[in-house]
Structures are given as structure tokens and as C-alpha cells.
């Protein structure tokens, strides 16, 4: 039996959740004030994910980096590998906010998109 304490980030209340259980068996969440906390607690317990933000190099001397983010959460264990790939990329300006840098990261259907427009 495993036990994990997690702060729910689904709303500003930040309930302190206690998640108990084992993979493949029943998972119990306590400390939540709503169903979203139960769902979040179970997801964090079984497969924690995060939206990834980073920067990608550009071909511009004036604006050498453009900020990017994933369009959905990525399994935490895969984040270092994604960051390594992003740091290898060099993109060209002009760039529009929302331009796609990676269309389908490693067959996960995760997109990496620019979060800023840059034109020289």
C-alpha cells in the first residue's frame, strides 16, 4: 500500500489530498472538497503530468529565443526527453503566437506551440 500527500491545483483553494492505494487496485482520496480533487489526486498518484513551458532558439540575433508550451499535459517522466528535443530545435522568424513547433511529440499527440509572436 502506498500513500502520497498532494496539493490539489485544480482551483485556488489548494486542498491537501491524501491518496492511498496501489496501482491496479482501488485508490482512495481524502481531503478533497469536490470531485475534481478526487480525479486530480488519482491522476497525480498514477501518472503525474505537467504542461511544459520552455524556450526554443531562433535564427534572430535580436530575439534569440521564443517561448513555447505544450498544448496538453505531458507525463512527467517524459519531460526531460521533450526538453532535450526542444533545446536542439532552431526555428526561423517571423513567428506567430500559436505556430506549431512540434506537431505530434513522439506519437503522443502533444503539440508544442509558440506563445509569442516575433517579427524583426
Binding site for ligand SF4 (CB under 6 A): 8, 10-11, 13-15, 32-34, 36-37
Q: Give the residue at shortest CB distance from ligand SF4.
A: 37
> Closest separation between CB of residue 47 and ligand SF4, Å?
18
> Closest separation between CB of residue 61 and ligand SF4, Å?
45
d(CA 100, CA 82) in angstroms, rounded, equals 15
d(CA 94, CA 118) in angstroms, rounded, equals 6
What would the grid cell of residue 57 be?
532558439
48 touches 75 (CB < 8 A): yes
> Closest separation between CB of residue 27 and ligand SF4, Å?
15
Amino acid at each position: 500500500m502506498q500513500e502520497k500527500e498532494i496539493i490539489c491545483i485544480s482551483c485556488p483553494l489548494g486542498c491537501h489530498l491524501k491518496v492511498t492505494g496501489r496501482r491496479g487496485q482501488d485508490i482512495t482520496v481524502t481531503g478533497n472538497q469536490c470531485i475534481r480533487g478526487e480525479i486530480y489526486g488519482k491522476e497525480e498518484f498514477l501518472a503525474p503530468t505537467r504542461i511544459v513551458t520552455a524556450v526554443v532558439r531562433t535564427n534572430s540575433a535580436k530575439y534569440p529565443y521564443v517561448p513555447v508550451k505544450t498544448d496538453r499535459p505531458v507525463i512527467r517522466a517524459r519531460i526531460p526527453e521533450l526538453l532535450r528535443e526542444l533545446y536542439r530545435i532552431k526555428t526561423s522568424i517571423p513567428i506567430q503566437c500559436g505556430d506549431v513547433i512540434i506537431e505530434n511529440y513522439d506519437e503522443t499527440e502533444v503539440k508544442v506551440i509558440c506563445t509569442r509572436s516575433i517579427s524583426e
